[in-house]
Amino acid sequence: MATPQAAQTIRPQQDAEPLLDCSKLVRRFGSRTAVDGVSLDVAPGETYGLLGPNGAGKTTTIKIVCGLLEADSGTVRVAGLPVRAAPGPAKRLIGYVPQEVALYPDLTVRENLLFFGRLYRLPRRRLERRVEEVLELIDLTARGEDRVDSLSGGMRRRLNIGAGLVHSPTLLVLDEPTVGVDPQSRHAIMESVRRFGDQGMAVIYTTHYMEEAERLCDRVGIIDHGSLIAEGTPRELVALVAEKDQVQLVASGDLTRYAEACRALPEVEGADVDRSDEGTVHAVVRDARSLLPRLLDLAHANRVQIRSVEIVEPDLEAVFLHLTGTALRE
Ligand SMILES: Nc1ncnc2c1ncn2[C@@H]1O[C@H](COP(=O)(O)OP(=O)(O)OP(=O)(O)O)[C@@H](O)[C@H]1O
Ligand SMILES: [Mg+2]
């Protein structure tokens, strides 16, 4: 068994070197400060979501990260290499997917990808192989010979992402890749982004769809008025504002006694019976997921049959409201 001294010397393993490292970025436009001291880092294989309302400074930050806009102060490094507005080796490592679709409508899907790959002077054979890989990644292999102007909006968005991928970047930067896209295409785009992370690419991604950030991102930074006001995993952020979850148990049996037994648990802040529809016990608890097995054991012990369980956890929208006093989406 470890002695207390031994335990003290054991440290959590340090994370890998960040692939993207931004430090104290500031950018003003006239008297307006669009980015006001943003520092963040993204590890290889990590998907980082930059979440904030219109005008928060997301695109400005992203453009500085990609070396498309000069910061007034602060530094950006990708794989240790400084990113500046002037061309440099760091830029080859970055794939940028802009907020607006930028493709050639009268070229085919494959021709567009070949075009973007040639910008990076990839040798022909390698480029051709890579284009086929990218088509698979964005799920457009079957549409390779179709002209872009014959694609749906969601497919164009996916191809726009593909154009940022052809030169095999290690950091993929996406600015609102799912704006104005129907739910099905959004799902396809999100699945693609998830695969990039699985392949070891670092991804930084802006959005104001918080449910998307919650599902997709390993970590989220919330940006408002040019400053990062909170950062963490979606669960950590949610825990910042509320430690309470609601559990709704649709059940039959002696629910009054069951609710009373639930209330006796220290993690349960309240439990009431609602008989309006089916019999339901509403409980307000700390950390519903870890408590659930005990709530089910209690039901069993009280001969209560549970028919369904729903856990309602606070979401990032609640976090945003709490931190800024305003809703994320207008
Ligand atoms: N070229 C520019 N000239 C002047 N002001 C600018 C310029 N680009 C951005 N801004 C201002 O900087 C602030 C941040 O803009 P930015 O585009 O970074 O926001 P955003 O978070 O990307 O918003 P959205 O969700 O609407 O895309 C805004 O007030 C915007 O008007
Ligand atoms: Mg923007």
Residue of 3 and 45 predicted with greater confidence: 45
**Pseudo-torsion of CA 136, 141, 145, 148, nearest 10°?**
-70
Of ligand 1's atoms, which has the minimum distance to the CA of residue 57?
18
Q: How many CB atoms lie within 10 A of CB 304?
A: 21
- Extract the runs of DSSP E, i.e. beta strands, from 215-256: 219-224, 227-232, 244-252
Helices (H), 20-78: 58-65
For residues 113-117, give the mean pLDDT: 95
Strands 268-274, 280-286: pairing is: antiparallel
Whether the pLDDT of residue 10 is over 70: the answer is no
Cβ of 29 closer than 6 Å to ligand 1, yes or no, is yes
32 Cβ below 6 A of ligand 1: yes
What number of residues does the chain have? Answer: 330
Q: Say if residue 68's pLDDT is above 80.
A: yes
Average pLDDT along the chain: 87
Interval 223-245 mean pLDDT: 84
Instruction: Kindly list the structural domains of the chain, giving each domain's residue range(s) and its CATH number in brackets, ordered by start.
Output: 8-238 (3.40.50.300), 243-313 (3.30.70.100)
Per-residue pLDDT tens digits for 300-315: 999 999 999 998 877 7
Any ligand 1 atom below 6 A from CB of 34: yes
The pLDDT score that the predictor gives to residue 329 is 53
How far, CA to CA in Å, does 82 sit from each of 54, 87, 90, 165, 229? 29, 11, 7, 21, 25
